[in-house]
Amino acid sequence: MGGDTARGAHVRLEGLAKSYGQVRAVDGVSLAVGPGEFVTLLGPSGSGKTTTLMILAGFVDPDAGEVFIAGARVTATPAHRRALGMVFQHYALFPHMTVFDNVAYPLRMRHTPRALIRDRVHAALGLVRLPETAARYPRQLSGGQQQRIALARALVYEPQLLLMDEPLGALDRKLREEMQVELRSLQQSLGITTLYVTHDQEEAMALSDRVVVMRDGHIEQDGPPADLYERPRTRFVADFIGASNCLEGKVEPASAGWEFVTSEGLRLPVDAPSAPADPRHFVLRPERIRWADDGPTDVAVNGVLASVTYLGERIRYRVQLEGGPTLIVTHPNLPTRRPIAVGAIVRVGWNRADATTL
């Protein structure tokens, strides 16, 4: 099992739609995924991400649209004939079977010869670094080990496509982060095409080649994690991918270029607006804001420090600007940073290129 080059399938979804009564769960979703690519469907509950994955898996029939895997139209093909692996949040391991038998199950269902079953199961357990667990039962394993066994079962028959629906959601934070590293490393070494569903923004950013942000059954934005974070195209994406300051107002021409005028009347210099033609939102990431004494910036404004929140590895500040709006500022928790008292007059700044108007 494995290899250094992508051997995964190309996947194409064309105009998928699915309704449940009056609810439009999936609304015209089209998406192409290249061989070996790791793509995450990200969105809140009810955004359509899981229904889209279930249509691709063959567990849900679309009302409209087509599904193609490795160039073949599979829209009407039953799930068990789509040659894909699937991992769920709840591991769905058979409690009465040993780990070996759990992993071997898909091969036995395909009437694989016994000797090949033995070789492939041992190879799959080696991939997830649990070869010593073959004789154990699921109840004798930790949550993280059970999830890795579920992954081994999905990979044992070497599918070209791996689908994962919130697979790490039941794990604690530390174990989830460790599993993210293992999962990404394994996926890259196998070169298997992977579609992953989560509502966890950090998880999506850490794992993916591309993130597809979904909302109300449609795709809101699709791109590499850095593009979505640095260049969100809608306020929803700006709010959903990481933390952001989002001020209401409008862009107006100024003597030295352009300004964003907040609803309170504060004027902030900005770069020339792009789409949409009539921007109404000013978006600025908290970590891009600096104290005036940290160095020069394009934009600087005065304010009052309203609160300080200690978050361990970072500190979050809330600054009430003189013009009315409030900005959230986050900085690494460095021993050299001097404390600032709540109520102190502060001056914060940023570079115009770090702000986005939407």
Please check the confidence at residue 1 and state whether its pLDDT lies above 60.
no
φ, ψ dihedrals at 291, nearest 5°: -75, 150
Cα dihedral 213, 219, 222, 227 sign = negative
DSSP string, 71-109: TEE-TTS-GGGS-EEEEESS----TTS-HHHHHHHHHHH
- AA letter at 310: Y
Query: Which residues touch 242 (CB under 8 Å, ≥6 apart)?
Result: 201, 205, 229, 285
Q: Residue 328: is its pLDDT beyond 80? A: yes
**pLDDT: which is higher, 337 or 176:** 176
Give the torsion sign (CA, 84, 97, 94, 208).
negative
Q: What is the pLDDT of residues 65-112, one digit of tens each?
A: 999 999 999 999 999 889 899 998 776 899 999 999 999 999 998 899
Degrees (nearest 5) of the Cα angle 90, 92, 97?
A: 140
What is the distance between the alpha carbons of residues 266 and 153, in angstroms, rounded to a whole number? 58
pLDDT above 50 (res 3):
no
Roughly what angle, to the nearest 10 degrees, separates helices 114-127 and 143-155? Answer: 130
The CATH architecture to which 243-357 belongs is: Beta Barrel (2.40)
What's 128's DSSP letter?
T
Residue 275's pLDDT band (cuts 50, 70, 90)? low
Across all residues in the chain, what is the average pLDDT?
A: 91
Is pLDDT at 277 greater than 80 in this prediction? no
* Amino acid 144: pLDDT: 86
pLDDT of residue 274: 65
Greater confidence, 304 or 7?
304
Instruction: Give 6's pLDDT tier (boundaries 50, 70, 90).
Output: very low
* The pLDDT of residue 92: 80
Q: Compute the average pLDDT of residues 143-156.
A: 90
**How many CA within 13 A on the CB side of residue 60?**
20
Where do the CATH 3.40.50.300 domains begin and end in the chain? 11-235
Residue 63: partners with Cβ closer than 8 Å, 6 or more residues away: 17, 18, 19
Question: In residues, how long is the chain?
Answer: 358
What's the pLDDT score for residue 22?
93
pLDDT of residue 284: 96
At position 344, the amino acid (one-letter code) is A
Mean pLDDT over 3-27 rounds to 87
Which stretch of 65-69, 225-229, 273-277, 317-321 has the lowest confidence by average pLDDT? 273-277
* Cβ contact 179:206 at 8 Å: no
CATH 2.40.50.140 placement within the chain: 243-357
The pLDDT of 238-260, averaged and rounded, is 91
Q: In what order do the strands lie in the sheet with 161-165?
A: 84-88, 161-165, 193-198, 38-42, 210-215, 218-223
Cβ proximity of 328 and 317 under 8 Å? yes
Please list the residues that pair with 326 across neighbouring strands. Answer: 320
Residues 123-130: what's their mean pLDDT? 91
Architecture of domain 11-235: 3-Layer(aba) Sandwich (3.40)
3-state helix, strand, coil in the chain (%, to 5): 30, 35, 35
Q: Is the pLDDT of residue 2 over 50?
A: no
In which residue are the tokens 């907040």 written?
Answer: 262
DSSP run (H or E) holding 314: strand 314-321
306 and 319 in contact (C-beta within 8 Å)? yes
Residue listed under structure tokens 């970072």: 314
